[in-house]
Structure 1
Amino acid sequence: MDPDALLAELDLLRAQPAARLATLRAPDPGADAADLLDTACALRAERDALSARLTRRWGEPQTWDLTPLLHGAAEGRPVPEPLLALCGYVPALTVWSPGSRWVGLGVAEPADAVVPQLIAAVGAEGEPPPFG
């Protein structure tokens, strides 16, 4: 997907008031292990290129380490969506706070049941970010 199409997808996510999570890119079905590793590297590069465009648009981002949320969820502490869905397979998000909601990009890292994916997440309207 070209960068303009990815930006358009992010804008569509932000246009909806609820928290959202979307896979922007994923490997072709049936990819073997070597292809998945190559795809993970390509998706990180694509995330970095998209991040550069978003930084020009919204300013410098923050990096959120999602590991504490994963541990908190395991201990029964509440974790807001879409971060609860992400914290098990996306180790960190690059996050901007344009307006009244946060927008994040991350790469799902290959694991037993997870293929690499370029993920976008948007917090709910008016909900404060868990990190700040």
Structure 2
Amino acid sequence: MDSTTAHLAAIDRLRALPFPARRRTERGVESGPDFHVAELEYSDRFGDDDFTLVRDEREEFESELQVLVQVLTYRWGEPEHRSLDAHLERSAMGEPVPEPLCTLSAFVGEVHAWSVDGRWVALGISRDEPQPPQRVLLVAAIGGEALAAAG
């Protein structure tokens, strides 16, 4: 199974999972009332001077993100493009930010988001941080429809 197929299967599994009553992390998926967040792919194997490797890895992740966006656009229509910067700022100032937006905004600057069957699905790649340690993430988040208004 190629990575795109595996990522699409993971997104479909996340969409089918019920939301738990309490926050928990199980098999790499952080879940709670009205949300699931999963790292579809990650790389954190870089040292302080591996900026070329980080750039190359980021390009691969961005390519995979674009393929996933194309496939999901075919399935569900055009996504909304949402910046998560305001959520990160509010969180940093101690203001309440609903999950998964609080967790997601700490790592991802913007997402492609769809509203599908009463849930929203968001995909993004980690912020491009200038200092080590560098970590490249491809993240999927599933939320209840109530979070669509908060986005």
TM-score (norm 2): 0.78
**Equivalent residue letter for 1:61:** P
Residue of structure 2 in register with 1:58 after alignment? 76
Root mean square deviation of aligned Cα:
1.8
How many corresponding residue pairs? 130
**2:38–2:139 Cα contact (<8 Å) kept:** yes
Q: Which protein, 1 or 2, shows the higher relative CO under an 8 Å CA cutoff with sep ≥ 6?
A: 1
Residue of structure 1 in register with 2:14 after alignment? 13
Q: In structure 2, do the counterparts of structure 1 residues 80 and 100 end up closer, same or farther at CA, with 3 Å as the change threshold? A: same
Moved over 6 A (4+): none
Measure the CA separation in 2 of the matches of 1:104 and 1:6. Answer: 13
Percent of counterpart pairs with the same letter?
A: 35
Mapping of residues 1-132 of structure 1, within 5 Å: 1-18=2-19, 19-27=35-43, 29-30=45-46, 32-111=50-129, 112-123=132-143, 125-129=144-148, 130-131=150-151
**Equivalent residue letter for 1:118:** L
| 5+ long unaligned stretches in structure 1 | none
Measure the CA separation in 1 of the matches of 2:99 and 2:53. Answer: 30
**1:64–1:93 Cα contact (<8 Å) kept:** yes
- Structure 1 or 2: larger strand share? 2
Measure the CA separation in 1 of the matches of 2:79 and 2:93. Answer: 29
Rg larger for = 2
